[in-house]
Structure 1
Amino acid sequence: MTTLIAWAAVDQRRVSSIYIASDSRISWGSSHLWDQGRKTFAATETPHIFGYWGDVLFPSIALPTVLDQLAASAISPTSSGFSAIGGAIQSLWTDYPKPEKRDFGIVMATRRGRGMEAVFELGIMTFEASTETWDIREADMPESSSQLHLAGSGSTEVRKAWHLWEDSSQGGTSRAIYSAFAEALAEGKDPRSGGGPQLVALQQTGPGRRFGTVYQGKRYLAGAQIQESAARATAVNWFNELFERVDGGDGRRLVNAQRHAPRRSKRA
C-alpha cells in the first residue's frame, strides 16, 4: 500500500502551491518489501503533478506515459478539469489484464494561469476492482493551508499526527502538514509504509517540481536513497522533516532559510 497526502499552502487567502508527499515502500504480501519505489511524479514541461496509492503496478507504469503525452501535447493541458487526463488513464486501462485489476487511486494537480492569476486544481481518481467502476472528483480549495486528500494504509497514523501538529504552535501551516506526515512515517506503525518521504509540488509559476528530502540523516530523491555527493550535485531544493530548506549535501538548514520549531503543545 502507501501513505499519501496532498495539501494546499495558502498565502493571504490565495492558494500559492499544492504539494503531494508519499512514502516509498512497495510490499508483496507481508514478507517482501522494497523501500525505494517511486510514487510521485512531476511534469518537467507542464504544470502537473501526480501521486498514487493502492495497487502499484498500473499507476507506476501509466503515469510516466501520461507525463510524456502532456509534454508532447497529446493531452491538452487546457482541457476542462481533469477529463482529458482521466480519459488517457482509462484508455491505457482498457486492455489491462482483468486478473491483475486491483483497487488504486491517483491524485493529480494542475494550475491555470501563473503568478497572482494562478488557479490551482486537484483531482482524485479511483478505481474499484470489485465493481469495475471509476470515480473522479475535484477537491475544493481552502482559504488556509490545509489537507486536500489523505489516503493509503498509513492514513490513520498521519491523521493522528496531524491533529497533534494542529494543536501545536505550528498549527494551520503547510509545514505542520508535512511534519505530521514525516513524524507518522518515522514512527513506523503502518508496516506497509516505509522508506524515505518523496515530495512534489506545483507553485505559482513553472512546471511541476520535484524536491529532495533529508530524512533520518539520509537523502532521498523520487523515493530513491542517494549519496551525499550525489545530493550535493543536484539542482533541486531539499527539505528536512520540519519542512526547512536544507543543503542536500550536509543536511543543514540553509543560512537564509526560515527556521521551523519542533512540535510543542499550545498549552505547554
Structure 2
Amino acid sequence: MTLIVGWLACDQRGPCSAYIASDSRISDNRNFYDYSQKTFALKNTPDILGYCGETLFTYQILTRLTSMCDVGMLLSADMDYQDRSEIIFNEIKRAHSAYKLNNGIIKIYHIGRNKKRIFDANVYFWNGIIWENIKIHTDFKKSKNLFSDGSGKKEYDENFLRFKNGNNESTSRNYFHCFCDIVKNVKDKHTGGIPQLVGLYNGSKFNGMYHGTIVDGQAYYQGLKMGNVYGMSNIRWYNENFEICDWNTKQREANAMVQPISKKATP
C-alpha cells in the first residue's frame, strides 16, 4: 500500500493551489523498495495524479498516460476538467480489462483545474469487481485536506489531530508538515522512503508541476536521491517545512516565506 494525501490551499481570495504528496515505498510481505514514483503531473494540461493500492498495473498505466499526454495525445489544453477526467478514467478501465496478473484494490486520485479556474478532484476506484469514478468535494474557502488514503492513513489522520489546532490551523503547510512527520516516524511497514510532491496552481499558465524535496540536506526528485544533475535549478524544491529552497545550498531561499512548524504539533 502506501500513504497518499491531497489538499487544497486557499488564501484570502479563495483556492489558489492544490497538492498531492505520497511516500515512495512499494512492498510485498517480505521486501520493499523506497524509490518508486507514485505521483504524476501532466505538463500540457492542469492535472496531477497519485495512487495507492496495487502497484504493478497502476504504475504502468500512469506512466504510459503521462507520456502520451505530454506529447499531445489523449488530452488537449482546451478540454475542461470533466472531459479530461472521463478520458483518463476510460483509458484506465480499458487497459485494466486485459490485466490478469492480480486483482488488487486500486485507487487513483486526480486533481485538476477547470475552465473557471476552480479545482476539481476524483478518485478512480477498482474495488475488485467494478470500477467507480467518485467525485471528491473541493468547494472550500479555507485550506482543506481533500483525501488521505493507503495503509498509512490511520497514522496520518491520528497524527494530524496534533497539528490541526495549532497556530498553523487552516494553512496548507500544516498538511505537508504532518505528512513528512508521519513518513519519517511511521509504524506501518508498507509506508516509507522520501516524501514526493506534485502541485497545481490557479493561474491559467500553470499546468501540473513536479516538485523536488530536500530532506536532511539531501535532494530527492520523485522519491529518488539526486546527485549534482544538470537542470535541477528549474525545479521548485521544498524542504520538510514546506519552504521553497535553493537547489545549490539546500537551504530556504532568501526571499521564500518561512513556514514554521505549529507550536502545538508536539505531544
Q: What is the TM-score normalised by the length of structure 2? A: 0.91
For the Cα contact (< 8 Å) 1:231–1:248, is it kept in 2?
no
Question: Where does residue 189 of structure 1 map in the other structure?
Answer: 187
| Distance in 2 between residues matched to 1:263 and 1:21, nearest whole Å | 19
The CA deviation at 1:262 is 2.0
Q: Does residue 1:133 correspond to 2:135, yes or no? A: no
Q: Does residue 1:106 correspond to 2:105, yes or no? A: no
| Distance in 1 between residues matched to 2:174 and 2:255, nearest whole Å | 20
Question: Where does residue 88 of structure 1 map in the other structure?
Answer: 91
The CA deviation at 1:225 is 1.1
- What per-residue deviation string (whole Å, max 9, x for no partner) do you get for residues 114-167 of structure 1? xxx4111111111112xx111111111122101001000111111122221111
The CA deviation at 1:59 is 1.1
| Distance in 2 between residues matched to 1:252 and 1:33, nearest whole Å | 30
- What is the total number of aligned residue pairs between the two structures? 260
Q: Does residue 1:11 correspond to 2:14, yes or no? A: no
- What per-residue deviation string (whole Å, max 9, x for no partner) do you get for residues 60-87 of structure 1? 0001222234342424543635222111
* One-letter amino acid matched to 1:25: R
What pairs with 1:17-36 in structure 2 (closer than 5 Å)?
17-29=17-29, 31-36=30-35
| Distance in 2 between residues matched to 1:204 and 1:168, nearest whole Å | 27
Question: Where does residue 64 of structure 1 map in the other structure?
Answer: 63
What SS class does the counterpart of residue 230 from structure 1 fall into? coil
Question: Residues 230, 32 of structure 1: CA spacing in aligned structure 2 closer, same or farther, 3 A cutoff?
Answer: same
In angstroms, what is the RMSD of aligned CA positions?
2.0
What SS class does the counterpart of residue 21 from structure 1 fall into? strand
What pairs with 1:162-177 in structure 2 (closer than 5 Å)?
162-177=160-175
The CA deviation at 1:48 is 1.0
What runs of 5+ residues in structure 2 fail to find an aligned partner? none
For the Cα contact (< 8 Å) 2:45–2:75, is it kept in 1?
no
| Distance in 2 between residues matched to 1:79 and 1:49, nearest whole Å | 12
Question: Where does residue 159 of structure 2 map in the other structure?
Answer: 161
What pairs with 1:213-232 in structure 2 (closer than 5 Å)?
213-227=213-227, 229-230=228-229
What SS class does the counterpart of residue 100 from structure 1 fall into? coil
Question: Residues 213, 139 of structure 1: CA spacing in aligned structure 2 closer, same or farther, 3 A cutoff?
Answer: same
| Distance in 1 between residues matched to 2:222 and 2:42, nearest whole Å | 13
Q: List, as ranges, runs of 4+ consecutive aligned residues in structure 1 with deviation greater than 6 Å.
A: none
What SS class does the counterpart of residue 82 from structure 2 fall into? coil
What SS class does the counterpart of residue 201 from structure 1 fall into? strand
For the Cα contact (< 8 Å) 1:9–1:173, is it kept in 2?
yes
| Distance in 1 between residues matched to 2:248 and 2:232, nearest whole Å | 8
What SS class does the counterpart of residue 258 from structure 1 fall into? coil
For the Cα contact (< 8 Å) 2:156–2:178, is it kept in 1?
yes
For the Cα contact (< 8 Å) 2:162–2:265, is it kept in 1?
no
What runs of 5+ residues in structure 1 fail to find an aligned partner? none
The range that moved more, 181-190 or 70-79, is: 70-79
Q: What is the TM-score normalised by the length of structure 1? A: 0.91
- What per-residue deviation string (whole Å, max 9, x for no partner) do you get for residues 9-35 of structure 1? 012252111100000001121x21110
What SS class does the counterpart of residue 181 from structure 2 fall into? helix
Question: Where does residue 252 of structure 1 map in the other structure?
Answer: 251
Question: Residues 204, 89 of structure 1: CA spacing in aligned structure 2 closer, same or farther, 3 A cutoff?
Answer: same
